[in-house]
Amino acid sequence: MLDKQSPVPMYAQIEDYLKSQILQGGFVIGMAIPSERELTDTFGVSRMTVRQSITNLVNEGLLYREKGRGTYVATPKIEQPLSLTSFTEDMLSRGMKPSNKLVSFEKKIPEIDIAQELQLAKGEEVFIVKRIRYADDKPMAIERSYLPVKLVPDLELNNIEGSLYSFIEKDKRLIISHASQRMEAVLVNKEDAEFLQICMPSAVLMIERISYLTNDVPIEIVRSTYRADRYKFISEIRR
Ligand code: 16G
């Protein structure tokens, strides 16, 4: 099956073969792929070569390894358009069940950088909401939201157990109109690794979003850490 004369290295050809099996449904989600030994025999290459192909696909998020058991086909990552939607809306629109675990909920005067970004006067307080967000009971992201107390003074525990956007828009009748967002890849820290149930070191996607109401008043800063093995962000761009 391999072309030994090809300039494409053996590991890349095996990788292409495994990838096409996954994408065309030969190997389905959750199924174990053939063992390293079986692949070694099938392709007549060294175990190192097979391992290299599998490692590349694990790093791409198409496969995952389970210690002592084997290598399995991973659930495809969530493809999240870069849009101003809430976590609850995003998950429901995919037919997944959103849920939250509240880690902390405080009311205090924020650090100077948050106060400046939220355009707060000296001494003005924010609510700080830290939640783990789940889709179908799997941890996806950790969100730390900062909201000016003066805009949502009656924010309570039961509001953030559900959808925060629904509270802001339906209960408070405020309109979230636009946002600026930046995203970067970082290595997960110890605390977030525990919340997200991932090993260290793992790459995660860090997002900071500042959302504004129609009158350009900042309503929320969110600093989120997303599991990079479960999420990819996509956008339509035109020239
Ligand atoms: C999204 C937003 C977050 C917002 C949350 C509300 C990003 C990076 N974050 O996750 O700012 O607080 O939705 O979700 O997009 P909820 O209405 O389900 O509580």
Give the binding-site residues of ligand 1, using a 6 Å CB cut-off.
86-88, 143, 145, 163-166, 207, 209, 220, 222, 224
Model pLDDT for residues 6-60, shown as the tens digit of each residue: 999 999 999 999 999 998 988 999 999 999 999 999 999 999 999 999 999 998 8
User: How many Å lie between the centroid of ligand 1 and the Cα of residue 86?
Assistant: 4
Please name the residue whose Cα sits nearest to atom 16 of ligand 1. Answer: 163
Model pLDDT for residues 172-211, shown as the tens digit of each residue: 999 999 999 999 999 999 999 999 999 898 899 999 999 9
Strand duo 126-135 + 98-108: pairing: antiparallel
Q: Which helix (H) or strand (E) holds 135?
A: strand 126-135
Q: Closest ligand 1 atom, CA of 91?
A: 18
Q: Closest ligand 1 atom, CA of 86?
A: 13
Q: Closest ligand 1 atom, CA of 165?
A: 17
The number of residues making up the chain comes to 239
**The pTM is what?**
0.84
User: How many Å lie between the centroid of ligand 1 and the Cα of residue 58?
Assistant: 29
Q: Which helix (H) or strand (E) holds 145?
A: strand 138-148
